[in-house]
């Protein structure tokens, strides 16, 4: 660099220094002023914060004093409550002891009451009143609870309601399960606590929690009476006073077809013999009725014998006998003609009589074989079950009943046939004897026999 340049550079530097020296005092004053202002502001803020902290401290001190006062008050109240609790606990213990002393008898009454209610509920199982009016069943109080006056009052009302219902006859629609299991509303007649029934059906003993059920079997005459009583509200009805045992017995009682099945093969054979005997008796009875009408018509026309009746056949054949025969021969010939008609008139009587005699013997045979089977069952299972013995003996006696049922009407039929055939034979014998007497009394016959007259036998 040349000398003028250095001189120029030095002059510039000196000028800058002089300018800076001239401006420095004014910038420093401003900085000091700003610093003082900022210091004052900071001091103001700190003083405000300090004042706030002092105020908060006063509040906190006041709150602390209040909290301490509340704590002291709570402690005092706690002490008072503890004292009162101890006093009340002591009083409660004294009352419990007093209650235990005074309530010993009442507890015994409550226990006895609960036991009696349980016993009553057990005895009311299967009751018609309970089944139809379940709200009348007394409720059992708890074992630990003392019965109140309301409990005794409610119990009295329920018991009085039960007693009132047991003496009432009422008719109301109720759900009833039929033989097919279908439940429908039907009018049910309640006779107190004895029994209930619908139109034409007895009801099985009620079961708790189940609808009323129609009895499996109701005799026809009983069904008619039940229907008439419900419709007309009058008349006599059969009453099951056994608590449902009779209805159960009717349900267990076998019907006619079941009875016949119990008779077994012997019973069927006996019935078949009886049917044959009655059929033969019926056919022969109709035949005797027909020939009786023919004989009566023939009596009115003795001079015109017909072949459609025994009397006509006897008279027609007797006319063919030689007129000059001896009376003994004529009588013998007449007896022969009567004897020829007798088997037809008495036809089937021997078979009917035989069946009447065999039927009881067949029944006895079935009874003996049934008893043998019963005794074999007793040998296997023992004799501790009376129902087993009774059932076996009952089935064994069925054949005897069948035999007697067959024999009695067959015997009556045989007696009727015998009487009817004997009556027809008596008419034939009487008319034949009269015809023989007339023939012997004729002049030509007397001349042929030398005037002798021999009466008919």
Range among 139-153, 204-218, 318-332, 354-368 rated most confident: 354-368
pLDDT at 23 (0 to 100): 46
% of the chain beyond a pLDDT of 70: 65
Range among 48-62, 98-112, 126-140, 344-358 rated most confident: 344-358
Indicate if the pLDDT at residue 339 is higher than 50.
Answer: yes
Indicate if the pLDDT at residue 407 is higher than 70.
Answer: yes
Q: Which of 14-23, 195-204, 216-225, 355-364 has the lowest mean pLDDT?
A: 14-23
- Span 27-38, mean pLDDT? 83
pLDDT at 220 (0 to 100): 72
Confidence band, pLDDT 50/70/90 cuts, at residue 146: low
Range among 21-30, 127-136, 217-226 rated most confident: 217-226
What is the C-alpha to C-alpha distance for residues 429 and 214, in angstroms, rounded to an integer? 66
Tens digit of each residue's pLDDT (9 = 90 or more) over 87-140: 899 898 888 888 777 666 666 766 776 777 777 666 666 676 767 776 666 666
Tens digit of each residue's pLDDT (9 = 90 or more) over 232-260: 777 677 776 666 667 666 666 666 777 77
Tens digit of each residue's pLDDT (9 = 90 or more) over 387-402: 666 666 777 788 889 9
Mean pLDDT estimate for the chain: 74
pLDDT at 6 (0 to 100): 44
Other CB atoms within a 10 A radius of the CB of residue 242 amount to 13
Residue 278 vs residue 48, higher pLDDT: 278
Q: pTM here?
A: 0.51
């Amino acid at each position: 660099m040349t000398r003028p340049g250095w001189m120029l550079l030095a002059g510039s530097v000196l000028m800058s220094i002089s300018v800076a020296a001239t401006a420095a005092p004014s910038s420093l004053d401003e900085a000091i002023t700003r610093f003082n202002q900022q210091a004052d502001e900071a001091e103001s803020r700190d003083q405000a914060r300090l004042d706030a902290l002092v105020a908060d401290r006063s509040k906190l001190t006041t709150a602390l004093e209040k909290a301490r006062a509340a704590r002291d008050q709570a402690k005092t109240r706690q002490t008072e409550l503890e004292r009162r609790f101890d006093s009340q606990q002591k009083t409660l213990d004294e009352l419990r002891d007093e209650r235990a002393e005074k309530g010993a008898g009442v507890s015994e009454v409550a226990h006895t009451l609960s036991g009696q209610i349980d016993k009553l509920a057990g005895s009311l199982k299967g009751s018609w009143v309970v089944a139809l009016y379940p709200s009348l069943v007394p409720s059992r109080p708890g074992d630990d609870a003392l019965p109140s006056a309301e409990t005794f009052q409610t119990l009295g009302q329920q018991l009085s309601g039960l007693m009132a219902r047991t003496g009432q006859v009422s008719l109301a629609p109720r759900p009833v399960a039929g033989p097919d299991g279908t439940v429908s509303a039907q009018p049910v007649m309640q006779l107190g606590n004895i029994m209930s029934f619908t139109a034409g059906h007895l009801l099985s003993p009620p079961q708790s929690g189940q609808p009323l059920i129609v009895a499996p079997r109701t005799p026809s005459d009983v069904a008619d009476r039940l229907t008439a009583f419900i419709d007309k509200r009058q008349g006599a009805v059969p009453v099951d006073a056994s608590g449902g045992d009779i209805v159960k017995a009717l349900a267990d009682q076998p019907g006619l077809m079941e009875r016949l099945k119990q008779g077994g093969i012997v019973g069927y054979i006996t019935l078949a013999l009886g049917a044959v005997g009655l059929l033969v008796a019926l056919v022969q009875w109709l035949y005797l009725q027909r020939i009786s009408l023919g004989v009566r018509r023939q009596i009115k026309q003795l001079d015109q014998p017909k072949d459609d009746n025994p009397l006509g056949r006897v008279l027609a054949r007797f006319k063919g006998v030689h007129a000059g025969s001896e009376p003994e021969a004529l009588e013998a010939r007449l007896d022969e003609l009567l004897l020829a008609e007798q088997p037809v008139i008495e036809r089937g009587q021997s078979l009917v009589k035989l069946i009447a005699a065999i039927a009881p013997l067949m029944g006895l045979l079935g009874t003996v074989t049934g008893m043998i089977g019963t005794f074999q069952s007793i040998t296997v299972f023992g004799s501790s079950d009376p129902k087993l013995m009774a059932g076996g003996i009952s089935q064994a006696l069925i054949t005897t009943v069948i035999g007697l049922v067959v024999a009695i009407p067959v015997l009556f039929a045989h007696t009727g046939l015998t009487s009817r055939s004997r009556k027809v034979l008596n008419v034939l014998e009487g008319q034949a004897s009269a015809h023989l007497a007339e023939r012997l009394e004729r002049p030509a016959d007397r001349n042929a026999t030398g005037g002798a007259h021999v009466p008919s036998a």
